[in-house]
Chains A and B, each alone.
Chain A
Amino acid sequence: MTALAITRSDERERLPVKLAQIDWTFCLLLAAIAGVGGLMLYSIGGGWSPWAWKHLALFAVCFLVMIALAVTDVRTWFAAAYPTYVIGLVLLLAVAVVGHSTMGAKRWLDIGHVRIQPSEIVKIGLVLALARFYHTLPAAKARLSWRLLVPLALIGAPVALVAHQPDLGTALLIAATGGVMMILAGLSLRLVAVGLAGLFAVLPAVFMFALKAYQQARLLTFLNPEADRSGAGYHIIQSKIALGSGGLLGKGFGLGTQSQLNFLPEKSTDFIFASLAEEFGFVGCVSVLVLYAAVIFMALRMASLAHSHFARLAAAGVTVTFALCVLINGAMVMGLAPVVGVPMPLLSFGGTVMITMMVGFALVLSVRVHRYSEVGSGRGALV
């Protein structure tokens, strides 16, 4: 009985037992989403190249890595938490100094032939570091105490560096993930309310002084896309046309005129959901959203079942990142949010985000596999 075996500390270290504990339904859902992504990339790319085969091949590799990482003991993750965060932060600093510049933003770091995007490493690093921090923090302190300056600093440093690149979308995503994790860890909801109120109060000032002209334009355009049909408003208008013209059942596979004729910008990356909507219509969209909802709720459940606070928060943190990505990208594509560079996870083409997400899900699966494992307070705790 594997269900019993996992509860026995001597049995649960065996690989077959661990593999059996992996949530294969969950894995199937991930594969389904990536498969839809591959299908869409095949359609809009007019064949396996340039996107579809790369997308599916990368997913296959990432899937194997995910399984390998899923059977890695959660205590190893625990030990790697702060180092991962620090490495991510250092690389972010390196990017700011010697990064590779594309389209006016320094986001990439070339190491030999490999090009890495440190903001993605720091996403995982931050989730791990926050979980690691809260693991040893009593509930009362997590609610409201001076010690909360530490997670604020943990969040603030990467957010500031990423925003400096500038990559406002990712910075906001990291900040929101960190914020939600603090709330999950027990932050006073009253404080959250006050904080949100304060945030809205300073928002106009941030808009006026902290944002670059193109970022301001994007936000203004979001508020009134018709004002700038050929410029920044173009993305939103064309995306809405693609969605709306899809109707109930869509125009059919490979027949989406908005994406096939390139009216839809960034069709393989940020706006792939619009391509999907155009070719498969409302039915296709809702099906994919249901897949995403299933992934989010299953991941949240896996987080809740863990015995250790670190595992819980780490798995929840990954889920939050994923859910925010889906919601932000969805809202953006549907014209409900400004155009920020947040892709639709697993659906959009783009290697780095795929790797980050799959490593994140490895963590979630690992949390499930090791849900009965106890994690000690560990050395090198910040408190």
Chain B
Amino acid sequence: MIRPTIYFDDVNERQSLFHRRAFLFGGVAGAGLVALGARLVNLQLIETGRYRLASEHNEFEFLLTAPPRGLIVDRDGVVLASNRPDFRLLLAKDEHTDVDAVLSRLGVLIPMDDARRQRLAADIDAAPRKAPVAVVEDMTWEEFSAVNVRAPELPGITADMGEVRVYPFAAAFAHVVGYVAKVSARDIAKTGPNSEPIMLNPGFRIGKQGIEKAYDLPLRGTAGARKVEVDVKGRVVRHDPVGDIASIPGSPIALTLDADIQNRALEVFGEESGAAVMMDCRSGDILCLLSAPSFDANRFVKGLTGPEYRALADYDRKPLFNKALTATYPPGSTFKTMVALAALEKGIDPATTHTCRGAWPWGGRVWHCDKAHGTLDMHDAIKVSCDIYFYQTALAVGPDRIAAVARQFGLGQTFNIGIPGQKSGLIPDRAYKRRAFPRDPVWHPGETPSMGIGQGYVSVNALQLAVMVSRLANGAKALEPRLVHSVGGVVQASGAAGPDLAVAKAHLDFVRAAMASVTNDAGGTAFGSAQLGLGPVKMAGKTGTAQVHSYAGGRGAHGAQGAWALRDHAWFIAFAPDDDPRYALSVLVEHGGFGADAAAPKAAQLLRVALLKDPQVRARIVQPLPQAPATSPSPPAGTPT
């Protein structure tokens, strides 16, 4: 007989125990499920609003949209800086991004050499965190669509259309309008407008030079936002146009410049180095402000490579430098206009004559002139630019009076034209000598003759000379130069609003008449080189040749001889028409030699453009063609003509 392992009563006890315990477990499990249900009531019914918000916060993101940058136009509305569409690739960078892998995958779609790849890797590395980086810009439409189609294979890469600044005239306005460039880490401030998140937007650029820099904030506008649905990696899944916030475009800026004149100026300079500043001598508006040679501002928008930048920076004609404002030079003989005015104001009779024999011994040394002019009065001394006459005139007037007149005409100061970078130059007098030379505080009489011909301590920039000749030509007003006509439609104060010149009008007329002789009378220094060829409309001017260094052997290297860097600077100041001045300008040709040869023809070219654009002046120039005698009979009546 088999002994049972277990007895019936035991079997029954185990069964009933199991039933009780199973019932207990069922209760516990049921309670657990009810607890879960209660939790669901809490989460999904009571607090659902809070979680719904959190979900939307996850789902939607506002992506900043850069506002279109304000246009910059010339006085006629010709666009000098605008925006064009730019097809680009953005890389959403995070700490896991394998830059090499991304670039090699991109390389399949977009041709990329090693240099470009290295530069991109460096760009990506340098870009601020959290902000997508513009990896490739300026793609062709074909490249753009290729990437768009293959986007899923390129994690973190999105194709995007942005706007990029474009300067249609490339080089002509590079110094005045300046340029925008990529935001560097240094540009981002802790506070103020440069701390705004738009600074991190891919492809966002800020003004780095000229008007673009000085008026960066109004040009920038206000950023808007695109409401988009993003996935957990921040990739845009869908755009919700209803939620968009419109951006406010930047304010347009109208300059007083004239694109025709400015472009002509760049042409006439060619590869020569120098500056030209033309003003409307009735209003003070700057029509042309050129520094040559120039550079293509669009290259800076893209970002220059190291070698490109070095080539520009190392070129001895300094294309990056705004010579119209930043470079100061001795004004040379153009300064004789100021010396003459000072003499007239002191009461010196312009009929006073001095005799020039080509050399004049005074004060223990010999003072030279470029030739023996014979006996002349003040008018002829200006016309032939006799140095010896003005050595003596300056001595008779004294430095303080000359300086006072020169300052009244705008020399030795800077002007508020809206862009930075002006150098004030120097108009010396006795007070200056005391201040600047504590060891030798006395103005020596021997320093005055040099000042009389615009040498010595005297230094000016091209803008100052343009203001000087504009005030001379205006004949009444102390004109202020104006470069910015309006910002966002708000017209800036006119340059003609200032006070009158404290100089007798007769004296101004005398100097202007002398300047007319320089260009229009036989024997004038610019008679051969400054002809407008516009019939009755003529120009008036004054040459200047600024000595770069003292000639060791007397006059050996004068003019356009010798090494370029040692040649004299050529100046020419002019206004036209000589009988009814409207346009005034200064032209500087660095190391150009004689002002009459290098600078005056350029001045004539620029004035021609300005005069021919002026309808009133044009009306004087345009002559009716002689009518051919009416020999043929008139066409029969009824024939359509």
Contact = CB atoms under 8 A, between A and B. Distances in A.
B55 interface: yes
Contact of A244 (B18, B29, B32, B43): B43
A297 B10 CA distance: 26
A243 B15 contact: no
B58 A261 contact: yes
Contacts of A334: 36, 39-40, 43
Interface stretch (B19-27, B98-106, B120-128): B19-27
Contacts of A296: 26, 29, 33
Contacts of B232: 261-263
A298 to B, nearest CB: 11
Given A244-B47, A331-B36, A377 B22 contact: no
Given A186-B14, A257-B55, A377-B5, A243 B22 contact: no
A137 B513 CA distance: 135
Given A243-B44, A244-B51, A282-B40, A289 B231 contact: no
A77 interface: no
A242 B55 CA distance: 7
B18 A243 contact: no
Contacts of A281: 44
A278 B54 CA distance: 13
A293 B30 contact: yes
Given A281-B44, A304-B19, A323 B10 contact: no
A303 to B, nearest CB: 6
Contact of B59 (A185, A261, A293, A312): A261
Interface stretch (A22-30, A35-43, A167-175, A245-253): A245-253
B237 interface: yes
Contacts of B25: 180, 183-184, 300, 316, 320, 323
B33 A257 contact: no
B155 to A, nearest CB: 13
B33 to A, nearest CB: 5
Nearest to A292: B33
Classify the interface of chain B: helix, strand, loop or mixed. Answer: helix
Contacts of A331: 36, 39
Interface string B209-232: 000000000000000000001111
A180 B18 CA distance: 11
B41 interface: yes
Given A241-B51, A243-B51, A258-B58, A293 B33 contact: yes
Contact of A257 (B39, B48, B229): B229
A312 B12 CA distance: 13
Nearest to A303: B22
A336 to B, nearest CB: 6
Contact of B231 (A243, A261, A278, A326): A261
Contacts of A323: 25, 29, 32
A304 B18 contact: yes
A242 B48 CA distance: 10
B41 A282 contact: yes
A297 B54 CA distance: 37
A180 B21 CA distance: 9
- The winner among B10, B26, B45, B237 for most chain A CB atoms within 10 A is B26
Interface residues of A, number: 53
Contacts of B13: 139
Contacts of B51: 240-241, 243-245
A312 B52 CA distance: 46
Contacts of B439: none
Contacts of A285: 40, 44
Interface in B90-136: none
B335 to A, nearest CB: 71
Given A243-B40, A257-B55, A257-B229, A327 B11 contact: no
Contacts of B32: 323, 327
A32 B47 CA distance: 29
Interface string B49-81: 011101110110000000000000000000000
A286 B44 CA distance: 11
Interface string A268-286: 0000000001100110011
A336 B26 contact: no
A245 B55 contact: yes
B21 A183 contact: yes
A54 interface: no
B48 A327 contact: no
Contacts of B26: 296-297, 300
A240 B50 CA distance: 11
8 contacts: A244-B52, A258-B55, A261-B237, A262-B231, A263-B231, A309-B18, A316-B25, A323-B25
Interface of A: 136, 138-140, 142, 180, 183-186, 238, 240-248, 257-258, 261-263, 277-278, 281-282, 285-286, 289, 292-293, 296-297, 300, 303-304, 309, 312-313, 316, 320, 323, 326-327, 330-331, 334, 336, 377, 381
Given A261-B58, A293-B29, 17 more contacts: A139-B10, A142-B17, A240-B51, A241-B55, A244-B43, A244-B44, A245-B48, A245-B54, A245-B55, A247-B44, A257-B59, A281-B44, A285-B44, A304-B22, A323-B29, A323-B32, A330-B36
Interface of B: 5-7, 10-11, 13-15, 17-19, 21-22, 25-26, 29-30, 32-33, 35-37, 39-41, 43-45, 47-48, 50-52, 54-56, 58-59, 229-233, 237
